[in-house]
Chains A and B, each alone.
Chain A
Amino acid sequence: MNALSGRRYVISAIFIVVGIIYLMRLFYIQVLNDSYKMSANNNVLRYMTEYPARGLVYDREGVLLVYNEAAYDLMVTPRQVKQIDTIDFCETVGITKVQFIKKMKQVKAYSPYKESIFEKQLSKETYAALQEKLYKFKGFFVQARTLRKYPQEIAAHTLGYVGEVSEKITKKNPYYKSGDYIGVSGIEKSYEEELRGKKGLKIMMVDVFNRPKGRFKDGMYDTTAISGQNLISSLSARLQKYGEQLLQNKSGAIVAIDPSTGEILACISGPSYNPNLLVGRERTKNYGKLFMDKSLPLFNRALMAYYPPGSTFKLLNGLIGEQEQVTFRETRYPCNRGYPVMGGKPKCHPHPSPMDLPGAVSTSCNSYFCYVFRSIIDNRKKYPNVVVGYNAWRDYVLSFGVGVKIHTDLPQELPGNVPTQKYYDKYFGKNGWKSSTIVSLSIGQGELGVTPLQMANIICSIANKGYYYTPHIVKGIGDKKKPRDEYKIKHYTKVEPQYFEPIIDGMQGAVDHGTSTSAKLKDIIVCGKTGTAQNPHGKDHSVFVAFAPRDNPKIAVAVLVENGGWGATWAVPIGGLMIEKYLRDSISKPDMEKRMLEGIVLSTEKKSKDDK
């Protein structure tokens, strides 16, 4: 046997070799290879997002415009689903068995262990019915989340709506994860960062059955959710609602601004829709319906539609003429039912002639402002040729916030259009145009495109005698209750204050005894100007701009009724009612109010219009 005792070393060697192999393997997986640590975290850590409450929106008088309503998503952890009564379940949730099987397949494919949404935003009735039975459906649970609600059911375009983020956004902005909500339009979009707050993160440890086992490192890496900031909108809910009622069964827009601050009091685009339609489960369906609607309810006319300003533009031409020292209060021009220089074109309506500047404004004399326009552009003492003259004129117009974006806090704002010199060069050829070629600009026709918001802003500048605050829809953010800084800055026009008096006199005259008498109010001096925007597609648009009271103006309003014909027919009464409603909260002309509320202006547009 002694010969065999050497074999102990062989056996010892086997033990030692196996031991060393194991030690090496352990060193490799424990010290050298890091992937197992990641896998361990994947196993045990669950990152739970805490969603902050989205900020609320109030109107300027404290009326709640937007709040959050609890909604319930039915969640499922597929692995925990065991022996449920499928028929009962499907009946309660309101789905078919085929849908059930399909959905279970989908969520299982995502992960058998992790929870996923089974059914989004249960109705209240479904939730109530389900809650009683939920204990029977193992693996299913309900997660509360919030939906936006618009209790006043007004200002759909302005307030906007929220929707799930697109993949494009989640790729660009790491804050958003798939399934998150984001403001898509209106205030919801432009104040997204203020409204959304900040998401919190809770890191939980779970066991193999996904049951929570406590905070990871006692919550050292957790962050708490910060609620979104509340906003105070400059809107007056009662004025907005009233305006929407006045504009019902009509197409067009009303914009009302407080000239002393630039705060938008009402911003109406008709036809509109109930903002609650674009919330929750029915959103996609309703959106499709609104999208297909021929009357374009989704189109925000107040900010995006270009209209020729019509006679309201005479106010600007008068002001520019005065500043250019070519027109004065006492300047008089003849009118022979038309502009004599060009053989009576453009035409004019019968009125005493010749008139001074305020009188021409009150009566809206076409001929007068053709003279004014010509004297500005053809002022050869100052401008060597028509191009220089035109560009000088154009700069004046732009200083009133026309033809450029004014950078309001609502998305989708468009700049409008004041043709450039280049445009005319291209259209008529270089040196191929003169003041008479473009004389229609003097009465607000031609290639001009102005949005209703810009019209209202022009009136603000006139009411303020030479400056405006950028119109904005949010006057208070969060606890500070202040608007964004850029909305506290005065923007001066190129017309000095002393030149506004004759124009304002003319506007007052227009309301007192001229073209806009239906906007007249007892004890409040209203200054206004009608317009009839020529419309090549159908009946002309009815336009009215006004502000009141004359001293310390509190409201400037622009009203546009598509296919409304003469300004005096629809736009003036509606503008007058808006002013009275805002300043007095009572209506002194119920007959007129009734006529406006019940009036139907049918669209006479020949083809689906793209107002751009």
Chain B
Amino acid sequence: MRKTEEGIFRNIDWVTVIMYLILVAMGWINIYASVYNEEHQLITDLTQKYGKQMIWIGTSLALALVILIVDGNFYAAVAWPLWIFVLISLVAVLFLGTEVSGSKSWFRFGEFGVQPAEFAKFATAMVIAKYLSQLDIKMTDNRTKIISAMLIGLPILLILLENETGVALVFFAFILVLYREGLSGNFLLLGVIVVILFILSLLIDKIILIVALAVISGVLFLFMRKTRQNIILLSSLFILSSVVIYSVDYAYNNLQSHQKKRIDVFLGKESDIKKAGYNVNQSLIAIGSGGLTGKGFLNGTQTKYDFVPEQSTDFIFCTVGEEWGFVGTAVVVVMFLLLLLRILFIAERQRSPFSRIYAYGVASIIFFHLMVNVGMTIGLAPVIGIPLPFFSYGGSSLWSFTILLFILIKLDAYRLEILR
């Protein structure tokens, strides 16, 4: 194989690369605005977060270049060893890591820190792709289901032990990958129903919601074949839905009480109970006050003056909302949607199952991050501390998403070589 300078960029999907670059650039600008410091106006000032983010962007680009240089076969080959290595790191960090705000998930190297959990995402995406791409594997087999569940479950378990609930939850996104590879739609349906009910019960009064569900069940009952099996299915679905609605309602409405405190502490989310509700409220205020066109670059008061917590990391979307308004938030959401659809398009043009499955893994992870991160800032998702891909400040996050995406780009560029 020829590996010339020109060869590195041969056949790579420029659309994805450009979307990546735009998102990263937008992220950088918004980090600059969110922690803007009048005494350090230069965006490249290394004493400030925006200066440091420049370093992360630079190193990420270098990392991307390295990924593109490496042989396309390499990734499928290292999937297992990499996954095992990451698992070992996840265990090691439990003993050797530095504790940061209640969670033990960081290796510290002087100024910098590395969070193995971040890298577990693409390692798991690769190992699932590797496992499911074997010729004799069928998703319908129970054995396959169990092994897949273990491949996903092991890192979840270790990450939960580290007290990084948010990152652990991301792995549930792999259900989309399994669905694409043949898992029964019922699992997905169940998941989707739970998510929809979850959101609806935050928006609508629980009584109205349950009455509405009862009406729908009644209508279904009138028109369906009244077999015993169908009746059991319908009634158990209705009961399940009601349970979900009630538990969500309970969890949310008891936010200020002692139960809520226990739940939060159990989830490792917050030590200060009032903060969770306060954060969402301030975040809504920041985004809501942006209006249609926003307050203008650097004019955001809610984010800049620290009313919104973590405004450069988990709540970076608030700065977009406040300073650029609905126009800004719509552009960002649409940009992510286009990126996701582009990844699905790339996935489906792969000849190699490994590449396709991996691509779905990438899309699922990015989608889950987007859904939860943006969702929590607008009150549609619980406050789970996970970053907005490519946007949020921080090296580990940016590096891991860059690696995740550029391995896909490399695999995609390599697909034609396989043909050749």
Contact = CB atoms under 8 A, between A and B. Distances in A.
B291 A43 contact: no
A43 B176 CA distance: 41
Contacts, number: 123
Contacts of B199: 21
A324 to B, nearest CB: 81
Interface in A41-100: 41, 43-44
A552 interface: no
Contacts of B180: 4, 7-8, 11
B236 to A, nearest CB: 23
B218 to A, nearest CB: 25
A25 B380 contact: yes
Nearest to A5: B348
Contacts of A26: 287, 321, 326, 329-330, 333, 378
Contact of A19 (B334, B360, B380): B334
A431 interface: no
A135 interface: no
A388 B290 CA distance: 80
B292 to A, nearest CB: 5
Contact of A36 (B188, B287, B305): B287
B367 interface: yes
B210 interface: no
Nearest to B281: A39
B17 interface: no
A185 to B, nearest CB: 45
Contacts of A30: 287-288, 290-292, 321, 325-326, 329
B307 A27 contact: no
Residue from A11, A33, A44 having most chain B Cβ neighbours under 10 A: A11
A39 B185 CA distance: 44
Interface in B277-294: 282, 284-292
Interface of A is mostly: helix
Interface residues of B, number: 49
Contacts of B378: 22, 25-26, 29
A210 to B, nearest CB: 10
A169 interface: no
A14 interface: yes
B380 A40 contact: no
B288 A33 contact: yes
B380 A44 contact: no
Contacts of B288: 29-30, 33, 35-37, 39-40
B353 interface: yes
Contacts of B181: 1, 4
A5 B344 CA distance: 11
A16 interface: yes
B305 A22 contact: no
Contacts of A27: 326, 330
A15 interface: yes
A23 B330 CA distance: 6
Interface string B209-252: 00000000000000000000000000000000000000000000
Interface in B162-184: 176, 179-182
Shortest 3 CB-CB contacts between residues of A and residues of B: A36-B288, A40-B289, A207-B305
28 contacts: A4-B180, A7-B179, A8-B347, A8-B348, A10-B188, A11-B176, A14-B176, A15-B367, A16-B337, A18-B367, A18-B371, A19-B337, A23-B330, A23-B333, A23-B334, A26-B321, A26-B326, A29-B288, A29-B378, A30-B288, A30-B292, A35-B288, A36-B287, A36-B288, A41-B289, A43-B301, A205-B301, A209-B306
Interface of A: 1, 4-5, 7-8, 10-12, 14-16, 18-19, 21-23, 25-27, 29-31, 33, 35-37, 39-41, 43-44, 205-209, 213
